[in-house]
Amino acid sequence: MFEYAPAPESRAIVDIKPSYGLFINGEFVDGTGTSFKTVNPATEEVLAEVAEASDADVDEAVKAARRAYTRVWSRMSGAERAKYLYRIARIIQERGRELAVLESIDNGKPIKESRDVDVPIVAAHFFYYAGWADKLKYSGYGETPLGVAGQVIPWNFPLLMLAWKIAPALACGNTVVLKPAETTPLTALLFAEICQQADLPPGVVNIVTGAGDTGRAIVSHPDVDKVAFTGSTEVGKAIARAVAGSEKKVTLELGGKAANIVFDDAPIDQAVEGIVDGIFFNQGHVCCAGSRLLVQESVADEVLERLKRRMSTLRMGDPLDKNTDVGAINSGEQLKRIRELSEVGDAEGAERWEVACDLPTKGFWFPPTIFTGVSQAHRIAREEIFGPVLSVLTFRTPSEAVEKANNTPFGLSAGVWTDKGSRILSMANRLRAGVVWANTFNKFDPTSPFGGYKESGYGREGGRHGLEGYLKGEAS
Amino acid sequence: MSRIDVRKTYKLYIGGQFPRSESGRSYVVNDAKGKLLANAAQASRKDARDAVVAARAAFGGWSGRTAYNRAQVVYRIAEVLEGRREQFEAEIRASEGVSPARARAAVDAAIDRLVWYAGWADKITQVVGNANPVAGPFFNLSTPEPSGVIAVVAPRGPLLGLVSVVAPLIVTGNTVVVIASEDNPLTAITLGEVMATSDLPGGVVNVLTGSQAEIAPWLASHMDVNGIDLTGVEDVELAAELEVAAADNLKRVRRPSPDTDWLAEPGLDRMTQFLETKTVWHPIGV
């Protein structure tokens, strides 16, 4: 591997305050709860103290959202709502570098991903849904908003998940109370400042920081009309139970255990790139990650050899270094879970291979890892690890591949690698997953719906279909 | 002594440039009170043909851009127009003699129309495209594609009608040769200045000023023009003749619409009339 000189992106562009309050009714307020610290996972440096919203704070936020909904936002024409969303999209573009650096500092993801993937898609997402605000009559889902949306998002794509939640909600005429994850609140708070710059009417967007209790307060608040959650299947099920018997509309985007299926006629080098992208992109903290490699037996040895060679060239380390491919694990807690499940993999008899590299002494790190000799019964083939750990299984026929791929309670995504178009389409038809990538992986676009089958959740985000979760729908 | 103002020469807008008419002709444009505003270029057959060449040259690149990119460029036109709104309001008042409020309303509507159409760039496919459930093991997908070079006869008026006929064509990827309103051509050229500074590639929109009756037949019979929008043709006989000429290469024709309320929200038809539907089949099987 070539030696590269360090090429760190400057931190000078971001201004992290020592402490942050809640963003309610267009202003930052102290809140009545306690506070928590957010750290840089690459260094364990404390970045800021952040308010933990209490039940009373959440109630204030919901009231502000309701007022804004009733008095301003639901009365405004779609064309005028669109202009606010276009403004937000443009400010995100203008402040793109700042957002990218802050995201990498707070989340641990490589700057090349936050800069080239997260932030551009965030801006595009607002731009796309801005255009829907005055075109809802063409959506096929009616034009009537739901009211106040309570939204709880994860730490793996903090700003992108915020965009997926807020952009369609606002376009459809709803107001929102959003809680970012407790380990990655900073870009959401910077987004609050962007809302101020855009002169968004107070209360249309409210950001309340906190952990599980704050999330529960939002989800169970009686004046919330819509709950949107991205996160673990376990919490998703708890939310489904919590809203049972209410009028709340719910969309859930949950876990996955995607099969990435490589046939013997696949272009192997491209497939290897796709496998690497599928599981090591964003340190594997991706709900749709291709965490199960299903490779046809006849090419398994060759694929694995090339995969290991490619993995050996991945650069791991400082997320702000422009050459870094794999950054830090987002939290000590997540690192513990990845370690535990990997040890279960060892104990159950799978063979571990990891990239030999020097890990930084501070921060949370886990090297890119693959397990071979994995059977379908192994926990590392069934449970979501949510880290840079790939389980490798083999198959002989397309039917066997389909059976193994679908042998999971999840159904978020899948990948197919083959030169044969008819086989791609036949596999796509038979895979029980909400997104199927063929000869590519981890592709996202504002126009393209995303979401899962089975226990990967329900509802879609993105595209025209993403409007459905925020509209009342045609009367039935 | 008071300062003598520097007057602008109004020329054509072709291929991103502002050439004079090759014919060396111009015609007098008066304000609503009959006072001279300026001499506008009087485009010739050759100018029209040059404009078609420019539009054709721009088509591949423009239609090949992502819809997201086209959306941003059209939105950018709206942004730049908003920044120059006072100039447009003044021109509209001079040209039409309307009140400041009417002029402002027309500029507002023109900007909002551009924003509305900008949002369609990446949505029209999702509204008029289809996955078709054919009765067999085939993947079957229909998507819209732009027809190509479209000639447009803009309706009467300096700005709103012009924006309303051009925006729906370019947002879907067509390129345009537009004949500006004969009585209100100056604002069309000012709009060309806005487009020329909005990241819109040269040749995507080409603006001709002059005699509709002289130029339109050359565009209607031009074999490298794929469609013609006759919205602004008020002479019924001329419209019919243009439609006959357009039949030579089966141009897509939009007939005149004299009663259009340009302040009302449009439908999809100005986009869909100049879109082709492409259907792709592919077998499904192991």
A445-456 pLDDT, tens digit per residue, is 999 999 999 999
Three-state DSSP state, B98: coil
Please identify among residues 65-104 of chain B the ones whose CB lies closer than 8 Å to any CB of chain A.
Answer: 67-68, 71-72, 75
For chain A, what is the mean pLDDT? 97
**Contact yes or no for B283 and A421 at CB 8 A:** yes
Best mutation site among B66, B69, B70, B72 for testing chain A: the one with the most A CBs within 10 Å?
A: B72
Residues of A in contact with B113 (CB under 8 A): none
The chain A residues in contact with chain B (CB within 8 A) are 79, 82-83, 86, 124, 127-128, 130-132, 134-135, 138, 398, 421-423, 425-426, 429, 446-447, 463-464
Closest-CA residue of B relative to A445 is B68
Residues of B in contact with A134 (CB under 8 A): 116, 119
Residue-wise pLDDT tens digits, A401-442:
999 999 999 999 999 999 999 999 999 999 999 999 999 999
The 3 state secondary structure assigned to chain A is CCCCCCCECCCCCCCCCCEECEEECCEEECCCCCEEEEEECCCCEEEEEEECCCHHHHHHHHHHHHHHHHHHHCCCCHHHHHHHHHHHHHHHHHCHHHHHHHHHHHHCCCHHHHHHHHHHHHHHHHHHHHHHCCCHHHCCCCCCECCEEEEECCCCCHHHHHHHHHHHHHHCCCEEEEECCCCCCHHHHHHHHHHHHCCCCCCCEEECCCCHHHHHHHHCCCCCCEEEEECCHHHHHHHHHHCCCCCCEEEEECCCCCEEEECCCCCHHHHHHHHHHHHHHHHHCCCCCCCEEEEEHHHHHHHHHHHHHHHCCCCECCCCECCCCECCCCCHHHHHHHHHHHHHHHHCCCEEEECCCCCCCCCCCCCCEEEECCCCCCHHHHCCCCCCEEEEEEECCHHHHHHHHHCCCCCCEEEEECCCHHHHHHHHHHCCCCEEEECCCCCCCCCCCECCCHHHEECCECCHHHHHHHECCCCC
| Cα gap A149→A214, rounded to integer Å | 15
Report pLDDT for B286. 79
Closest-CA residue of B relative to A78 is B116
Q: Between these two residues, A319 and A475, which has the higher pLDDT value?
A: A319
Q: Does B285 touch chain A (CB under 8 A)?
A: yes
**Contact yes or no for B116 and A446 at CB 8 A:** no
Report pLDDT for A348. 97
Q: Looking at the partner chain, which of A127, A423, A464 has a beta carbon nearest the beta carbon of B72?
A: A127
- Whether the pLDDT of residue A137 is over 70: the answer is yes
Map out the domains of chain B as residue ranges.
26-30+37-283
| Cα gap A359→A429, rounded to integer Å | 42
- Whether the pLDDT of residue A84 is over 80: the answer is yes
Q: In the structure encoding, which two tokens stand for residue B132, read together? A: 């078709």
- The CATH architecture that domain B26-30+37-283 belongs to is 3-Layer(aba) Sandwich (3.40)
**Contact yes or no for A79 and B115 at CB 8 A:** yes
Query: Number of A:B CB contacts under 8 A?
Result: 66
Residue-wise pLDDT tens digits, A239-271:
999 999 999 999 999 999 999 999 999 999 999
Report pLDDT for A254. 98
Report pLDDT for A476. 55
Q: Does B267 touch chain A (CB under 8 A)?
A: no
Residue-wise pLDDT tens digits, B109-145:
999 999 999 999 999 999 999 999 999 999 999 999 9
- Do residues A26 and A196 lie in contact, with contact meaning Cβ atoms separated by under 8 Å? yes
| A473 band by pLDDT with thresholds 50, 70 and 90 | confident
Residues of A in contact with B168 (CB under 8 A): none
Active site residue A340: no
Residues of A in contact with B137 (CB under 8 A): 426
Report pLDDT for A3. 83
- Do residues A275 and A258 lie in contact, with contact meaning Cβ atoms separated by under 8 Å? no
- Whether the pLDDT of residue A306 is over 70: the answer is yes
Interior/surface letters B33-64, b for 16+ CB within 10 angstroms, e for the rest: eeeebbebbbbbeebbbbbbbbbbbbbeebbe
Model-level pTM greater than 0.90? Answer: yes
**Contact yes or no for B118 and A425 at CB 8 A:** no
| A83 band by pLDDT with thresholds 50, 70 and 90 | very high
| Longest alpha-carbon distance in chain B | 87
Report pLDDT for A333. 97
Report pLDDT for B59. 98
Best mutation site among A80, A126, A135 for testing chain B: the one with the most B CBs within 10 Å?
A: A135
Q: Does B286 touch chain A (CB under 8 A)?
A: yes
| DSSP for residue B40 | E
Best mutation site among B115, B141, B143, B282 for testing chain A: the one with the most A CBs within 10 Å?
A: B115
**Contact yes or no for B284 and A425 at CB 8 A:** yes
Residue-wise pLDDT tens digits, A20-79:
999 999 999 999 999 999 999 999 999 999 999 999 999 999 999 999 999 999 999 999
Residue ranges of domains in chain A, CATH in brackets: 19-254+454-470 (3.40.605.10), 259-438 (3.40.309.10)
- Whether the pLDDT of residue B194 is over 80: the answer is yes
Residue-wise pLDDT tens digits, B60-76:
999 999 999 999 999 99
Q: Looking at the partner chain, which of A86, A135, A426 has a beta carbon nearest the beta carbon of B286?
A: A426
Residue-wise pLDDT tens digits, B202-217:
999 999 999 999 999 9
Best mutation site among A422, A429, A460 for testing chain B: the one with the most B CBs within 10 Å?
A: A422
| A474 band by pLDDT with thresholds 50, 70 and 90 | confident
**Which residues have CB under 8 Å from B121's CB, separation 6+?**
A131, B67, B68, B70, B71, B74, B171, B172
| B17 band by pLDDT with thresholds 50, 70 and 90 | very high
Report pLDDT for A475. 64
The mean pLDDT value for B255-281 works out to 96
Q: Looking at the partner chain, which of B119, B283, B284 has a beta carbon nearest the beta carbon of A131?
A: B119
